[in-house]
Chains A and B, each alone.
Chain A
Amino acid sequence: MSTPLEIIRKKRAEAINRIISKGYLSSKRVYVGMATCEIAAGSIEVMEVFQEAIRSGLSDVYLSQKGCAGRCNLEPTVEVVEEGKIPLKYGLVTKEKAKAIIERHLKKGEVIKEWLIK
Chain B
Amino acid sequence: MPARFNITLCDGPSCIHKRSKEIVLRIEEELKKHALTDKVGINLSGCLGMCDKGPVMIINPGYAIYGSFTEEDVPEIIQQHILKKKPVVRFIVDEDHLYNRFFRVFGDVNFFGKQMRIALRNCGIIDPENIDDYISLRGYEALARVLTDMSPAKVIAEIKKSGLRGRGGAGFPTGIKWELTAKEKSDEKYVICNADEGDPGAFMDRSAIEGDPHTIVEGMVIAGFAIGASRGIVYIRAEYPLAVKRIKKAIAEARESGFLGENILGSGFNFEIEVRLGAGAFVCGEETALMLSIEGHRGMPRPRPPFPSVSGLFGKPTLINNVETWANIPVIILDGASWFSSLGTEKSKGTKVFALAGKVKNTGLVEVPMGTTLRQIIYDIGGGIPGDKQFKAVQTGGPSGGCLSEEYLDTKIDYESLAKAGSIMGSGGMIVIDEDSCMVNIAKFFLEFTQNESCGKCTPCREGTKRMLEILIRITEGKGTEKDIDKLQRLGNMIKKASLCGLGQSAPNPVLSTIKNFRAEYEEHVHNKRCRAGVCQHLLVYEVTDKCVGCAACKKACPADAVSGSPKAKHHIDINKCIKCGVCFKVCKFNAIRKS
Say yes or no: A67 contacts B211, CB within 8 Å: yes
B112-131 interface (Cβ within 8 A of A): 112, 120, 122-131
Say yes or no: B265 contacts A7, CB within 8 Å: yes
A22-75 interface (Cβ within 8 A of B): 31, 33, 35-37, 39, 64-73
B1-43 interface (Cβ within 8 A of A): 1-6
Instruction: Say if the beta carbon of A118 comes within 8 Å of chain B.
Output: yes
Please give the distance in Å from B56's CB to the nearest CB on chain A.
19
Say yes or no: A68 contacts B5, CB within 8 Å: no
Q: Known: A4-B148, A72-B364, A86-B3. Contact between A67 and B110, CB under 8 A?
A: no
Output the nearest chain B residue to A24 by Cβ-Cβ distance. B136
Secondary structure class of chain B's binding surface, majority of residues: mixed
Segment among B100-108, B369-377, B393-401 that sits at the interface with chain A: B100-108
Contacts of A85 in B (CB 8 A): 4, 61
Say yes or no: A89 contacts B106, CB within 8 Å: yes
Distance, CA A24 to CA B141, complexed state (A): 22
Say yes or no: B211 contacts A68, CB within 8 Å: yes
Say yes or no: A66 contacts B124, CB within 8 Å: yes
Distance, CA A42 to CA B149, complexed state (A): 47
Q: Counting chain A CB atoms within 10 Å of each CB, which of B109, B120, B145 scores highest?
A: B109
Instruction: Say if the beta carbon of A117 comes within 8 Å of chain B.
Output: yes
Contacts of B207 in A (CB 8 A): 35, 37, 67-68, 70
Distance, CA A18 to CA B133, complexed state (A): 10
Contacts of A84 in B (CB 8 A): 61-62
Q: Known: A67-B212, A71-B364. Contact between A2 and B266, CB under 8 A?
A: yes
Output the nearest chain A residue to B6 by Cβ-Cβ distance. A86
Distance, CA A33 to CA B104, complexed state (A): 17
Which of A8, A39, A70 is B120 in contact with, Cβ under 8 Å? A70
Say yes or no: B135 contacts A12, CB within 8 Å: yes
Instruction: Say if the beta carbon of B147 comes within 8 Å of chain A.
Output: yes
Instruction: Say if the beta carbon of B111 comes within 8 Å of chain A.
Output: yes
Instruction: Say if the beta carbon of B140 comes within 8 Å of chain A.
Output: yes
Contacts of B109 in A (CB 8 A): 89, 117-118
Output the nearest chain B residue to A39 by Cβ-Cβ distance. B242
Distance, CA A35 to CA B209, complexed state (A): 10
Instruction: Say if the beta carbon of B576 comes within 8 Å of chain A.
Output: no
Which of B108, B120, B131 is A15 in contact with, Cβ under 8 Å? B131
Contacts of A86 in B (CB 8 A): 2-6, 60-61, 108
Which of B61, B149, B267, B363 is A73 in contact with, Cβ under 8 Å? B363
Say yes or no: A70 contacts B4, CB within 8 Å: no
Instruction: Say if the beta carbon of B203 comes within 8 Å of chain A.
Output: yes
Say yes or no: B265 contacts A4, CB within 8 Å: yes
Distance, CA A8 to CA B125, complexed state (A): 21
Distance, CA A111 to CA B62, complexed state (A): 20
Say yes or no: B124 contacts A4, CB within 8 Å: no
Q: What is the size category of the interface that chain A forms with chain B? A: 35 or more
Which of B243, B264, B362 is A71 in contact with, Cβ under 8 Å? B362
B75-112 interface (Cβ within 8 A of A): 104-106, 108-112
Say yes or no: B362 contacts A4, CB within 8 Å: no
Output the nearest chain A residue to B353 by Cβ-Cβ distance. A70
Say yes or no: A37 contacts B203, CB within 8 Å: yes
Say yes or no: A36 contacts B210, CB within 8 Å: yes
Contacts of A70 in B (CB 8 A): 120, 123-124, 207, 364-366
A96-118 interface (Cβ within 8 A of B): 111, 113, 116-118
Please give the distance in Å from B351's CB to the nearest CB on chain A.
13
Say yes or no: A35 contacts B127, CB within 8 Å: no
Contacts of B203 in A (CB 8 A): 37
Distance, CA A116 to CA B130, complexed state (A): 27
Instruction: Say if the beta carbon of B206 comes within 8 Å of chain A.
Output: yes
Output the nearest chain A residue to B124 by Cβ-Cβ distance. A69
Say yes or no: B136 contacts A16, CB within 8 Å: yes
Say yes or no: A35 contacts B364, CB within 8 Å: no
Instruction: Say if the beta carbon of B73 comes within 8 Å of chain A.
Output: no
Instruction: Say if the beta carbon of A92 comes within 8 Å of chain B.
Output: no
Distance, CA A85 to CA B1, complexed state (A): 12
Say yes or no: A88 contacts B2, CB within 8 Å: yes
Contacts of A16 in B (CB 8 A): 132, 136
Instruction: Say if the beta carbon of B573 comes within 8 Å of chain A.
Output: no
Say yes or no: A65 contacts B257, CB within 8 Å: no
Distance, CA A86 to CA B4, complexed state (A): 7
Q: Known: A66-B125, A67-B212, A86-B108. Contact between A36 and B240, CB under 8 A?
A: yes
A residues in contact (CB < 8 Å) with B: 1-5, 7-8, 11-12, 15-16, 18-19, 31, 33, 35-37, 39, 64-73, 77, 79, 81, 83-89, 111, 113, 116-118
For the complex with contacts A15-B136, A68-B123, 9 further pairs of A-B residues with Cβ separation under 8 Å are: A2-B266, A7-B265, A35-B210, A37-B203, A37-B207, A68-B124, A72-B365, A84-B62, A113-B2
B residues in contact (CB < 8 Å) with A: 1-6, 60-62, 104-106, 108-112, 120, 122-133, 135-136, 138, 140-141, 143-145, 147-149, 203, 206-207, 210-212, 240, 242-243, 257-258, 264-267, 357, 362-366
Query: Sorted from nearest, which 8 A-B pairs have the closest CB atoms?
Result: A67-B211, A70-B365, A69-B124, A4-B265, A8-B144, A15-B132, A4-B144, A15-B135
16 cross-chain CB contacts under 8 A: A3-B266, A4-B144, A15-B131, A19-B133, A35-B242, A64-B130, A65-B127, A66-B127, A67-B210, A69-B211, A70-B207, A70-B365, A72-B357, A72-B363, A72-B364, A86-B2
